[in-house]
Structure 1
Amino acid sequence: MLRPVTTGSPRRRHTHRRPRSRTARIVLAFVAAAAVLVVAALVVPMLLPPGPRPLFQLPVACGETWQLGTYPGHDDYDVDLFPIEGEAWGRPVLAAAAGTVTVAGINGSLGGRTPENPEGPRGRGGGYWVKIDHGGRWETQYLHLLEPPSVREGQRVAQGEQIGRLGSTGNSGAPHLHFEQRRGWEKVETWFDGSPSGITHDDREYTVRRTSNNCG
């Protein structure tokens, strides 16, 4: 026997979604707002113009006279510091201005030049180094230190506070301090005690002597 034929659309099953709870919506809104704040905190400072130049001092002991110089092939505005008198190895390296340490570690590789083996193999890059944020998008960098820095990342340092000792780690031919000042993360001419060093481009060898007023 044939079954009767029915016409019309088949019945569909309806699924009901539970509306999100009020708590879930609040949590999602909070997470989204927090993400926006984090991005703003990272991006906005990069868009602001740099603040006024800090009163940087030579990053060496008060009253000492050092030779500052550059040479062809050295990057623009980079400064190499050598003491005029006395042993170079192990001399204190000081913060040029107050700030917060953002890097304290190894740049490249260390090599093998030490006070006991000054003609050892060169390394790569800056060796032991420190970078300090001085606020207003100003920072300083200190390279070729003798040993691990005496400061740690996140540490607040005062002007004239020792951050390491002079050495020849990394790509260095002799014990000295490679020093940079940066504004908005771009290298600029170094200033010390309110006046420019005169070291700008690396198209020729140039040296100048300056006496430190980094007296704390």
Structure 2
Amino acid sequence: MKPKLFIMAALCLLAYGASAQTEKGKSFINGSIGFTSNKNNQIVSTSPTFSTEQKAEAFNIVPRFGYLVADNWAIGLGAGYSRSKSTVNTVNTASSAIILATQTAKQHVFSIEPFVRKYVDVADKFKFFGEFNLGIGFGKAVSHSLYSAPINSSSEDSYKLTSYGAALSPGFAFFPSKKWAIEFSFPLASYRKTKPKDVSNGLSVPTTETFTFATDSFNPSIGFNFHF
């Protein structure tokens, strides 16, 4: 009889631990960090020689804090920073002299992302959640072009940018301990609009809008939450 009582008590404690992590007054922190880098060389023609070398790298970080305003209801805020850089080196011997060209584009964006999350109990230590978040970003883009002799010229263009977005992301949370949760989620639908301003040198930069569903590009993610 005692072993059965012990097992039942242990199961109750595990279930309570998962529920306690999402009860009113609790908090959690999570976030994401990423870095990508790639390089591509392409020979368009050999006579005359026309070849390109492309390099690109990107970095982003978004720490987030959430607070349970009611049982299974959380609100929170994320603050992010992203940086990207791409470089294209071109060799062109179509003229009498070799022309070397380097084009570089850089972009820096700071963002804030408020969100609302709802948890729903599924089983012991498992919860389903739905999250809705907004995103507002402010940044600057700079592009620089440099040409060697006989052209010997350089130019620089820049503009500020503002972006607005919203996303709905469902997922599942697994609570292996009282302090940690492992989450699997995917963007169900998202919208983003990016608008340039203060464009230099009469550069034409269009406003862009994107609206995507999970059926367009299924992009799941796995993360960790620390609850306290």
Structure number having the greater strand percentage: 2
Normalised to the residue count of structure 1, the TM-score between the two structures is 0.32
Structure of higher CA gyration radius: 1
If asked which structure has higher relative contact order (CA below 8 Å, sep 6+), I would say 1
